[in-house]
């Protein structure tokens, strides 16, 4: 009997997975790249009169023995790896306080340049009662969204303090930009979300929409393009070099993970596949960003030598 030809679809799909990931990341990078001109401020002119007009308030948190003890334990592996593999970045030799101050200044300068006011900038601050008060007093978010999504976000703030884990985050429900890392690129990326939220007529609905598949990807591409263009137009090459690998890595991981939502429900996908693909997308995106950063460095050096 003649042999039935084997179905090669599965093996071909597996073979092409790395190329598919690379293609997704390249497309994502193109959508989130820097432009030649920058638009300062929000795009919707009719919203400007509705925005806060009070100065941004910076609050620096003091000692917190319990959180500080947790932070030392959780951050110990990271600091150990940094001691084994020291960074070539000259700012890495500065103290954490100096580097964090630079991150706060970078984010604050971005907000000021875009005319964004009324933001609470918390630096290593942990104050659940104050956060709840800010949520209640935030009139830009509709009560329904404040006491549903805002409550869940507040619960996350209480249980997973950014001060302990060292992450930066903008909470639109309380209009608070929390800066806990020492990275200017992470701080300004979160400041970019402030501009995006300020440019929404219905911010609560916009935040809820970004809980759906794909929507966060378009948001992140827009924010990434904005902060990269800001750094490029202001000729801040050190900031660009930090932003590019992180931003493209984040976009690459997001794009691949969002793409998994469109896998047919009849297709069995092991639980570990999605995080692995997301990690691969982040790695390819980071390499892409690093290559672009090196190219920008070369172009800058050539201009100086001419």
* 2-45 pLDDT, tens digit each: 554 444 444 444 444 554 555 555 555 555 577 889 999 998 88
Domain endpoint, select from 155, 171, 198: 198
Domain annotation covers residue 1: no
Indicate the average pLDDT of the chain: 84
> Do 82 and 222 have their domain in common?
no
Are 218 and 130 members of one domain?
no
Residue 205 lies in a domain: no
Cβ pair 111, 179 in contact under 8 A: no
164 shares a domain with 59: yes
Number of domains into which the chain is organized: 2
Co-location of 35 and 122 in the same domain: no
**Pair (128, 106) in one structural domain:** yes
Q: What is the largest CA-CA distance in the chain?
A: 83
Q: Of the given ranges (214-228, 243-257, 274-288), which has the lowest mean pLDDT?
A: 274-288
Domain ends where: 163, 198, 233? Answer: 198
More confident residue, 159 or 85: 159
The residue ranking higher by pLDDT, 294 or 268, is 294
Give the separation between CA 190 and CA 119, rounded to whole angstroms.
12
Residues 30 and 156 in one domain: no
Closest CA to 158 of 178, 136, 183, 188: 178
- In this structure, is the dihedral angle defined by the CA atoms of residues 36, 22, 195 and 95, taken in order, positive or negative? negative
Helix (H) or strand (E) holding 187: helix 184-198
Kindly state whether residues 55 and 184 are assigned to the same domain. Answer: yes
Q: Is 206 part of a structural domain of the chain?
A: no
In the predicted model, is pLDDT for residue 291 greater than 50? Answer: yes
> For residues 206 and 80, what is the distance between their CA atoms, to the nearest angstrom?
40
Specify whether 154 is located in the same domain as 91. yes
- Least reliable range by pLDDT among 123-132, 219-228, 229-238, 270-279: 270-279
Check: CB of residue 226 under 8 Å from CB of residue 247: no
Please name which of 47, 180, 65, 177 lies closest in space to residue 112, comparing C-alpha atoms: 177
Domain termination site, one of 170, 198, 226 = 198
Higher-scoring residue by pLDDT: 87, 182: 182
Q: Which of 96, 150, 162, 100 is nearest to 125 (CA)?
A: 162
Confidence (pLDDT) at 33 = 76
The stretch 87-113 carries a mean pLDDT of 89
| Distance set, CA 294 to CA 30, 47, 133, 242, 289 (Å) | 17, 39, 45, 11, 9
Q: 273-305 vs 237-259: helix axis angle to the nearest 10?
A: 150
- Residue 207 counted as domain residue: no
Average pLDDT over residues 68-93: 84
Give pTM, 2 decimals. 0.84
Same domain, 187 and 59: yes
Amino acid 28: pLDDT: 53
Q: How far is CA 183 from the centre of its chain?
A: 12
162 lies in the same domain as 285:
no
Q: Do 266 and 179 lie in a common domain? A: no
pLDDT of residue 73: 93
**Token digits of residue 79:** 């600091």
* Stated length of the chain: 306
**Residues 33, 61 share a domain:** no
Q: What is the domain range of residue 259?
A: 7-43+212-306
């Amino acid at each position: 009997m003649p042999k039935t030809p084997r179905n090669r679809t599965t093996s071909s799909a597996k073979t092409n997975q790395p190329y598919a990931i690379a293609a997704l990341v390249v497309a994502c990078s193109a959508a989130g790249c820097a432009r030649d001109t920058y638009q300062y401020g929000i795009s919707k002119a009719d919203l400007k009169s509705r925005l806060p007009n009070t100065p941004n308030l910076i609050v620096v948190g003091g000692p917190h023995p319990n959180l500080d003890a947790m932070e030392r334990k959780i951050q110990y592996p990271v600091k150990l790896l940094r001691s084994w593999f020291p960074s070539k970045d000259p700012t890495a030799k500065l103290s954490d306080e100096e580097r964090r101050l630079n991150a706060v200044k970078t984010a604050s300068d971005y907000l000021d340049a875009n005319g964004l006011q009324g933001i609470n900038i918390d630096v290593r601050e942990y104050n659940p009662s104050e956060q709840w008060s800010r949520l209640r007093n935030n009139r830009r978010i509709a009560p329904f969204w404040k006491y549903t999504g805002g409550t869940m976000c507040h619960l996350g703030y209480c249980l997973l303090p950014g001060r302990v884990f060292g992450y930066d985050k903008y909470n639109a429900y309380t209009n608070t930009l929390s800066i806990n890392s020492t990275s200017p690129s992470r701080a300004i990326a979160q400041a970019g979300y402030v501009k995006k939220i300020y440019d929404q007529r219905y911010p609560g609905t916009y935040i809820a929409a970004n809980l759906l598949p794909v929507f966060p990807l378009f948001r992140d591409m827009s924010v990434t393009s904005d902060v990269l263009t800001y750094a490029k137009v202001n000729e801040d090459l050190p900031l660009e070099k930090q932003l590019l690998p992180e931003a493209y890595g984040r976009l690459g991981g997001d794009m691949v993970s969002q793409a998994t939502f469109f896998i047919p429900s009849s297709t069995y996908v092991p639980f570990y596949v999605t995080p692995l693909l997301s990690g691969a997308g982040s790695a390819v995106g980071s390499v892409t960003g690093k290559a672009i950063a090196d190219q920008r460095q070369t172009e800058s050096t050539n201009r100086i030598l001419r």
